[in-house]
């Protein structure tokens, strides 16, 4: 058995992509299926944790028995996550959150006009960075989806967003990243590389990641 290594721990996981509306019938989103975050939520539950899953747009099946809160936009995900942050022990941000949203959401369907259409986008709030600033006792884990200079960008995100760990996936590699059932990740702490996983199922990545988190929390003198 996996035992109950996370018994009594409150774990918040985000999954899927955000959906940023342009008008009543159109939106911007990304390729996230939710599989990585769902696998983490499911594995955490099997390890005895009390799991809250906050999910954007997903195509994969939601793990059974997990409390799921649905959100659409980055702003809604921000509110759902920050509102629950104080009560959590571990937060894992596997969601693919939009960096930009429409500067204006049109109330009416946008009309076809000239040959070209320019959309004005504005930055969304960075949820992980917000959590990093507010962090107290929580163990905070971010993801980094990169296509090049993976270590450099992942370490940069870890520091900027004040994470305890960052899980980097080179989404340009076959078998890694969006949509599939497998991933290839490297996990970094502020001291550098702590685990380099080979091609594994997202379930296996999830379990190995949670075991790593649990070991580091215990080593840091966390209770029980
Ligand atoms: O859902 P799947 O199809 O299984 O795919 C899994 C995945 C590729 C989506 C997942 O493994 C992954 O890499 N998730 C993070 C994707 C991402 O948005 O990465 P990023 O490098 O752009 O963002 C870095 C971190 O900041 C992430 O933890 C992200 O959740 C967070 N972020 C980003 C922008 C923002 N406005 N707020 C955030 O919190």
The residues spanned by each domain of the chain are: 10-99+117-218
Active-site residue, 162 included:
no
Pocket of ligand 1 (CB under 6 A): 32-36, 74, 93-97, 99, 124, 126-128, 142-145, 157, 169, 171, 177-179
Stated as kind and residue range, the H or E segment containing 142 is: strand 139-146
pLDDT the model gives residue 221: 76
Q: What is the pLDDT along the chain (224 residues), one digit of tens a residue?
A: 457 999 999 999 999 999 999 999 999 999 999 999 999 999 999 999 999 999 999 999 999 989 999 999 999 999 999 999 999 999 999 999 999 999 999 999 999 989 999 999 999 999 999 999 999 999 999 999 999 999 999 999 999 999 999 999 999 999 999 999 999 999 999 999 999 999 999 999 999 999 999 999 999 875 54
d(CA 95, CA 145): 10
Q: Between the CA of residue 53 and those of 27, 150, 164, 200, 219, what are the distances in Å?
A: 23, 27, 20, 22, 26
Q: Between the CA of residue 39 and those of 51, 55, 62, 126, 208, what are the distances in Å?
A: 12, 12, 9, 23, 11
The number of CA neighbours under 13 Å toward the Cβ of 48 is 11
Interval between CA 33 and ligand 1 midpoint (Å): 12
pLDDT the model gives residue 157: 97
> 143 among the known binding-site residues?
yes
pLDDT the model gives residue 187: 98
Question: DSSP label at 49?
Answer: -
Ligand 1 mutation target, pool 16, 37, 53, 142, most atoms within 8 A of CB: 142
What fold, for 10-99+117-218?
Answer: Rossmann fold (3.40.50)
Q: Which of 30, 67, 179, 183 is catalytic?
A: 30
What spatial distance separates the first Cα and last Cα of the chain, rounded to whole Å?
A: 19
d(CA 206, CA 224): 22
């Amino acid at each position: 058995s996996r035992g109950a290594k996370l018994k009594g721990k409150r774990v918040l996981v985000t999954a899927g992509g955000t959906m940023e509306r342009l008008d009543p019938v159109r939106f911007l989103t990304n390729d996230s299926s939710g599989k990585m975050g769902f696998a983490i939520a499911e594995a955490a539950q099997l390890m005895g944790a009390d799991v809250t899953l906050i999910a954007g747009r997903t195509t994969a099946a939601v793990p059974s028995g997990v409390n799921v809160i649905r959100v659409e936009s980055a702003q809604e995900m921000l509110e759902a996550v920050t509102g629950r942050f104080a009560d959590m022990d571990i937060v894992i941000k596997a969601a693919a959150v939009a960096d930009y949203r429409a500067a204006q959401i049109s109330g009416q369907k946008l009309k076809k006009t000239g040959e070209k259409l320019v959309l004005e986008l504005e930055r969304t709030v960075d949820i992980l960075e917000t959590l990093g600033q507010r962090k107290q006792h929580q163990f905070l884990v971010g993801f980094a989806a990169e296509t090049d200079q993976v270590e450099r960008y992942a370490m940069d995100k870890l520091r900027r967003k004040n994470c305890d760990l960052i899980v980097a996936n080179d989404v340009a590699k076959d078998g890694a990243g969006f949509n599939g059932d497998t991933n290839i990740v490297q996990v970094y702490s502020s001291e550098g590389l702590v685990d380099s996983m080979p091609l594994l199922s997202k379930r296996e990545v999830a379990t190995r990641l949670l075991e790593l988190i649990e070991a580091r929390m215990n080593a840091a003198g966390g209770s029980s």
